[in-house]
Structure 1
Amino acid sequence: MSTAARVRVTGFQKLGNKMMEVFHGIGLPVGPLQLLKVKGRKSGREYTNPVAPVNVGGAVYILQAFPGSDWVKNVRAAGEGVLVRGRRARRVKLVEVPPNERGPIARHFPAQVPMGASVFVKNGVVPDKSPESFEQAARDIPVFRVVPL
């Protein structure tokens, strides 16, 4: 699947996303998930999306599993956001990794976030949850390095 094609979030996923907001709001983070809050590029309104950062070589990265999603466009426009884990929030700069540097980063995702890797497969971003599949598809997976502000 081309990452230009938009994959829509289902009603069930939207409900799950709202539940993650509630859990984090009461101080109960779930697994590796964090909330990424970014201002909309058109509305200026703050949007919240669950993300599962990965750690590679001491740096933190966020990969995108929904081709054509607005949150990536918003991150590109804003260049920063807020990462929330439980009740702890921190402002961060989000630097897009060039396509030719994404492979070694994406390779770590299925081992660190196995359930999240399933979303990439379901959305047609990768054929399976192997590190090799993620590395081969990495040029088409938006990846952002998280830099504390």
Structure 2
Amino acid sequence: MAEQRYLKPGRIEVRLLHNTVGWLTRHGVSVAGSRELAVRGRKSGEWRRNPVNPLTVGSERFLVAPRGHTQWVRNLRAAGDGQLRVGKRIEQFTAVEVPDAEKPALLRAYLSRWKWEVGAFFDGVGPDSSDGELLRIAPDHPVFRITEHN
């Protein structure tokens, strides 16, 4: 199996960006549509939280992992469900990973919306890139289709 890409955030980024966005989101302030993802740890069973940018395409919603095969990705694969939070609003969801062949349109939509924030993690590929370029990087960026529980 090929090594899976994961770009680990630096300490300063975690402290300034993740912690700040996470704190704001927990207190009801969504930054550009951000949510706090909560997923049970695959080993500990404890809730693990990370800020994410949910993507809506048509009537479907997705989570895209710009940094690659992160811990939250591994936990979500194992758990199959989680929560998206903003303030006191908690949305329960189930997740199904999207095959690479379906990712180009989703990655294009994601980059159209958040390239300013996450573009550095996509190796120069952007919303105007060809389907072939987006398909080439698709294995490096897991995408999950999420469905809200009623």
Determine if the alignment matches structure 1 residue 11 to structure 2 residue 26.
Answer: no
Classify the secondary structure of the residue corresponding to 1:24. Answer: helix
- Identity, % of aligned positions: 27
Select which of 126, 129, 135 maps to 1:129: 126
- Write the distance in 1 (CA, Å) between the matches of 2:35 and 2:64: 13
- Write the distance in 2 (CA, Å) between the matches of 1:72 and 1:131: 26
Alignment of 1:61-76 (within 5 A): 61-76=62-77
After superposing on structure 2, the runs of 4+ consecutive aligned residues of structure 1 that deviate more than 6 Å are none
- Write the distance in 2 (CA, Å) between the matches of 1:115 and 1:35: 19
The one-letter amino acid of 2:116's match is M
- Write the distance in 1 (CA, Å) between the matches of 2:23 and 2:117: 20
Aligned to 1:44: 45
Segments of 5+ residues of structure 1 without an aligned counterpart are none
- The question of whether the paired residues in 2 share the 8 Å contact of 1:96 and 1:143 is answered with yes
- The question of whether the paired residues in 2 share the 8 Å contact of 1:99 and 1:138 is answered with yes
- Residues 63, 3 of structure 1: alpha-carbon distance in 2 compared, 3 angstrom cutoff: farther
Alignment of 1:101-116 (within 5 A): 101-116=102-117
Q: CA deviation at 1:63?
A: 0.6
Aligned to 1:21: 22
Alignment of 1:92-107 (within 5 A): 92-107=93-108
Aligned length, in residue pairs: 144
Q: CA deviation at 1:129?
A: 2.6
RMSD of aligned residue pairs (Cα, Å): 2.0
Classify the secondary structure of the residue corresponding to 2:105. Answer: helix
TM-score with structure 1 setting the length:
0.85
TM-score with structure 2 setting the length:
0.85
